[in-house]
Amino acid sequence: MNLKRLIDQAVAGGLANAGFADTPAVVKQAARPEFGDYQANGVMAAAKRAGRNPREVAGEVAAGLDVDFLESPEVAGPGFINLTLSASWIAEQMQARYRGGESALDVATARIAIDYSSPNLAKEMHVGHLRPTVIGDALVRVLEFLGNDVIRVNHVGDWGAQFGSLLAFLDELPEGERGTSLKDLEAFYREASARFRSDETFASKARGFVVKLQSGDPACSALWEQFIAESIAHCEAVYDLFNITLTTEDIRAESAYNDDLPRIVTDLEQQGLITVSDGAKCVFLPGFTGKDDKPLPAIVQKSDGGYPYLATDVAALRYRAGELGVDRAYYVVGAPQTLHLKQLFALGEAAGYVDGQDFRHVPFGSILKDDGKPFKTRDGADVKLVDVLHEAVARAHDVVTTKNPELSESEREEVARVVGIGAVKYAELSKNRMTDYIFDWDAMLSFEGNTAPYLQYAYTRIRSIFRRADADAAALDATVVISEPAERALCIKLLQFQETVEQVTADNQPNVLCNYLYELAQSFMSFYETCPVLSGAEAERNSRLVICATTARTLQLGLSLLGIETVEQM
């Protein structure tokens, strides 16, 4: 049940009744309890436009609001309408929600490809991959939960000139040593690049390896396969530790499109879209200009015959729109690639590869160190993602040990894993994805404020109520009665879960869900302070336990949609 939509529709009905069809309802949550639960503010402007008295129109709208879930609406001030939900209706909805779970949220049916994580396999995953991996995985979970048919796509970079020196370097190692030296992929990459820069013989061998690889030379392909397999194993270790839903099956690497590339270029030529400029095959698209307002080319084949990043992306786009037949495709890729993706989508339209499907860039900003500089190691190297995750778990272990020394070591390890990983993810997801943010261990691991540990802790507090009551949260008498304001506020908050989840997908903003969960936890704390749960008479106790159980489940579900786990005690 989308509560916001229900109220919007009711007010729209009232407006239509008063002769204002198509006038937006403009319903907001009430700023003060005396204004009811919600307030409709759209009437005044509409009345003024029609040259009528706003209070009079508001009266007509209110009278025409014929729904059972609202108490009789009140006209207030210069023409607002205060809307109060019926307490018995809230109670019924809570009961239904408690009994039926959240399966009713299954409302969407689009086929959506999400391109996310997508690291280059030449190196190990680093901090730069944190955002696309975490945001993409949360979007996947939310969209899937709403019933969409979601296709995860890990568009890994496994092809191109950068592999020349890596393969040449691998080739020089005795066969028995190759596997072990790939275990530290980062060091391997550094050494190979250093050789490439300092040793001209090696550099020309490396360039030769690029040609060999592209022409399908068997020995070179075998080395490449060994390298790629090892690099994918590194990614998978990160996904495992980080509780990311990507699997090997979701990989559709750049190399998968190799055979398509010449065909794409030929097709673009036949469509008359190609212009040769400085020997390169380019598409000039309207509206794209570079410096000096010169038309900006989209290069699909370089003058040396090689195919750039964009060409592979054109092939991938055609595959997604055509073969996969998606309704939408989202690209969770950093803001610096905005122009690249704009060109890509425009080219896709121009060539007729996309036809009305929604191809969309989901950009994000960067992660900074506390000095506001890019997050790098002291010597300027990328920080490995796996190291960040291990540190998160180690730091969470310290925090948990201080907070709750009673837990056994194995319990503490599990809590540390769940809290540490959750904290890193939540710090990411709770920010607007476009803003740069400072990576701050203490803030993300704090048990206060809008953090994962705060929410995970709120969850354990509710669970402990059930342990104390010796009650099964899943098998309560579902009757709910609402009396106290804090109780009412918490229930309304719970009934706003669906609209929140749907709102996340409106502009792919997981922070909408984070803010909701934070407010829900706060709302629970106020409820818990003012409404005794276990000490009341049986009917009240039962009703409040149902509210507690639904809160715990909503917190757990909301966190799981963000890819964050919970524990029973911490």
Contact between 499 and ligand ARG by CB under 6 A: the answer reads no
Contact between 122 and ligand ARG by CB under 6 A: the answer reads no
Strand 80-83 to 74-76 pairing: antiparallel
Contact between 120 and ligand ARG by CB under 6 A: the answer reads yes
> What's the min distance (Å) between Cβ of 331 and ligand ARG?
6
Q: How far apart are CA 514 and CA 188, in angstroms?
A: 39
CB atoms within 10 A of CB 294: 8
> What's the min distance (Å) between Cβ of 131 and ligand ARG?
12
Q: Which is nearer to ligand ARG, 428 or 540 (CB)?
A: 428
For helices 409-429 and 511-530, the axis angle rounded to 10 degrees is 120
> What mask of x and - would describe binding to ligand ARG in positions 276 to 315, judged by CB under 6 A?
-------------------------------------x--
Contact between 115 and ligand ARG by CB under 6 A: the answer reads yes
- Kindly report the backbone phi and psi dihedral angles of residue 56, in degrees, each rounded to the nearest multiple of 5, phi listed first: -65, -45
If you compute the radius of gyration of the chain from its CA atoms, what whole number of angstroms results?
A: 28
**How is 15-81 classified by DSSP, letter by letter?**
HHHTT-TT----EEE-SSGGGBSEEE--HHHHHHHTT--HHHHHHHHHHT---TTBPPPEEETTTEE
Size of the site for ligand ARG (CB under 6 A): 10
CA angle (309 as vertex; 114, 313 as ends), nearest 5: 35
> What's the min distance (Å) between Cβ of 166 and ligand ARG?
16
Q: Which residues on adjacent β-strands are paired with residue 249? A: none
Contact between 250 and ligand ARG by CB under 6 A: the answer reads no
Q: Which is nearer to ligand ARG, 313 or 502 (CB)?
A: 313
> What's the min distance (Å) between Cβ of 162 and ligand ARG?
11
> What's the min distance (Å) between Cβ of 521 and ligand ARG?
35
Contact between 231 and ligand ARG by CB under 6 A: the answer reads no
Q: How far apart are CA 205 and CA 312, in angstroms?
A: 25
Q: Binder to ligand ARG among 131, 152, 155, 234 (CB under 6 A)?
A: 155
Q: How far apart are CA 384 and CA 505, in angstroms?
A: 30
Q: How far apart are CA 498 and CA 511, in angstroms?
A: 15
> What's the min distance (Å) between Cβ of 76 and ligand ARG?
52
Burial zone of 560 (CB within 10 Å; 0-12 exposed, 13-18 middle, 19+ buried): middle
Q: Which is nearer to ligand ARG, 316 or 548 (CB)?
A: 316
> What mask of x and - would describe binding to ligand ARG in positions 75 to 104, judged by CB under 6 A?
------------------------------
> What mask of x and - would describe binding to ligand ARG in positions 329 to 348, judged by CB under 6 A?
--x-x---------------
Nearest position to ligand ARG, beta carbon:
118
Q: What is the contact surface with ligand ARG in residues (CB under 6 A)?
A: 115, 118-120, 155, 157, 313, 316, 331, 333
